Amino acid sequence: MIRERVTTMELIFLGPPGAGKGTQARRLVERYGIPQISTGDMLREEIANGTALGRKADSFMGRGELVPDDLIIDVVEQRLRKEDCRTGFLLDGFPRTLPQAEALDQLLERMGCDVSLVIALEVGPDVVVERNSLRRSCPSCNATYHLTGRPPARDQLCDACGTELVQREDDREDVIRHRLEVYQNQTQPLIDYYRQRNLLRTVNGDQPMDEVTRAIEALVDEYRAS
């Protein structure tokens, strides 16, 4: 069944792990009032809850591998059909492969919409390794910190709930470098895919956070004005 949609904005963020997609996505959805759809967050929630999907995903994510397309597409479809996505959404971490992009196109066509804009954050590999390897997460409330960029007020303790912070398995340097290889081999072709459709816009992610935000907002505002 095709929905009636009023004002829609279906956005995609691309970029290597640690490019700042999650941070910028949270800023963007605050301004434009559309939900952030983070496949990474959804999968980690499944893992934390011990679901069958979570157990399958964990075996891939812990090695820095991409979760198989059929699993992740099912998760995304369930999420995009919820009511808060009626006027748009921002996909953070999906699609990551050409088959996922093609499956997304088919899903959106069934829903009566299409991708509006794809924003790729460009960051060098050394920056990616530093950003990820110094990241720490709270296993209780999922808050994230960076030991040099945004450290907790108390050493290794979450500001929100006081739980001891941990380094996620996929934030180890060896896993990060493997994730970068996976990104180059499987996700980089998406750049060409969306460029050919004139949907791709690029932003230098290796600059102060506020400047990255302003550059992204300028692209989105330009799209909305057109």
The alpha carbon torsion through 189, 45, 208, 223 (nearest 10 deg) reads: 60
pLDDT of residue 52: 83
What length is written for the chain?
Answer: 226
Sign, Cα dihedral of 166, 146, 154, 161:
negative
pLDDT score of 55: 87
* Phi, psi of 21, rounded to the nearest 5 degrees: -60, -45
pTM greater than 0.85 (yes/no): no
What is the DSSP secondary structure assignment for residue 139, as one 8-state letter?
Answer: T
DSSP-derived secondary structure for 80-131? HTSGGGTTEEEEES---SHHHHHHHHHHHHHHT----EEEEEE--HHHHHHH
pLDDT at position 132 is 87
Active-site positions read 21, 96, 135, 168, 179
* Domains of the chain listed by start with CATH number: 9-124+186-225 (3.40.50.300)
How far is 45 from 51, CA to CA, in rounded Å? 9
19: exposed, middle or buried (C-beta count within 10 Å: 0-12, 13-18, 19+)? buried
pLDDT at 44: 81
pLDDT for the residue numbered 218: 97
Residue 4 is predicted with a pLDDT of 37
pLDDT, one tens digit for every residue, the chain (226 residues): 333 333 579 999 999 888 888 889 989 988 999 999 988 788 888 888 888 888 888 888 777 777 888 888 888 888 898 899 988 999 987 898 899 999 999 999 988 899 999 999 999 998 889 888 999 999 999 898 989 888 999 989 999 999 999 998 888 899 999 889 888 888 888 999 999 999 999 999 999 999 999 999 999 999 999 8
133 within 8 A of 181, measured Cβ to Cβ: no
